[in-house]
Amino acid sequence: MSIRITATADRRYGTNSYLVEDEDTKDAVVIDANFEPEQMVRLIRERGVTVRAILLTHTDVDHVAGLAELLQSLGPVPVAVHDAERAVILEGKPLRSEFAIASPPIGNVVSLEEGKPFKAGSLEFEVLHTPGHSPGGVTLRIGDALFTGDALFAGSVGRSDFRNSDGRALLHGIKTRLLTLPDDLTVYSGHGPATTIGQERRTNPFL
């Protein structure tokens, strides 16, 4: 299987959305839905792929803001999220009291569960629960690519100063779920450039 990964970032928060496609079958998923979904819609059309699901690393507003617009363009594809944050999508409840921006409720919600592979067409992701930045934060692995959301960044880690964050859990998850993986895995974060597990193990000042 030949996997191609392309990122789009919004100008508001520099939040990354990713298109992950199987170049053989043209099946694809979108990971996270930033404030400029039109970039992703354009990319999907250019690549001529069929999006089988939208996967959410977590449900902070900058990662779900474009969801309704993406679904308008793509049709009712399933939206996959960890059960701890399911209500944010299903009922439109904001994840944070600090950013109380409600979003339209979305019906076709499926679960991302640790230890249970998530299949979308020919693509299959391993789900690692990496909470701490948010209760239902997950890292998604396919091949040698890791999508870490706002858990792990190049040179940094996610914020844990929100009411429903937990800094200890964040570092525990990174150290036990991510830093135990091979050095050459590429880390695609919620913000900023890609990095590798090895690079972060050696140089990340927060770890």
Percentage of residues of the chain with pLDDT beyond 70: 97
Q: What is the CATH number of the domain that holds 175?
A: 3.60.15.10
Q: Is pLDDT of 148 > 90? A: yes
Residue 46: C-alpha distances to residues 19, 39, 40, 42, 195 (Å): 12, 11, 10, 6, 26
Question: Contact at 8 Å (CB) between 181 and 146?
Answer: yes
Distance CA 205, CA 46 (A): 39
Q: What is the pLDDT of residues 17-56, one digit of tens each?
A: 999 999 999 999 999 999 999 999 999 999 999 999 999 9
Q: What is the pLDDT of residues 54-102, one digit of tens each?
A: 999 999 999 999 999 999 999 999 999 999 999 999 988 888 876 666 6
Sequence-ordered list of residues with C-beta below 8 angstroms from that of 20, at least 6 positions apart, any chain:
3, 4, 5, 28, 29, 30, 31, 123, 142, 145, 147
Q: Is pLDDT of 104 > 90? A: no
Range of the domain at 175: 3-203
Q: What is the pLDDT of residues 177-195, one digit of tens each?
A: 999 999 999 999 999 999 9
Q: Is pLDDT of 145 > 80? A: yes
Distance CA 188, CA 174 (A): 14
Can you tell me which residue has the tokens 């590429």? 186
Total domain count, the chain? 1
Can you tell me which residue has the tokens 């363009």? 73
Q: Residue 102: what pLDDT?
A: 62
Q: What is the mean pLDDT of the chain?
A: 95
Sequence-ordered list of residues with C-beta below 8 angstroms from that of 202, at least 6 positions apart, any chain:
none
Sequence-ordered list of residues with C-beta below 8 angstroms from that of 173, at least 6 positions apart, any chain:
128, 129, 130, 131, 132, 137, 151
Instruction: Find the mean pLDDT for residues 138-147.
Output: 98
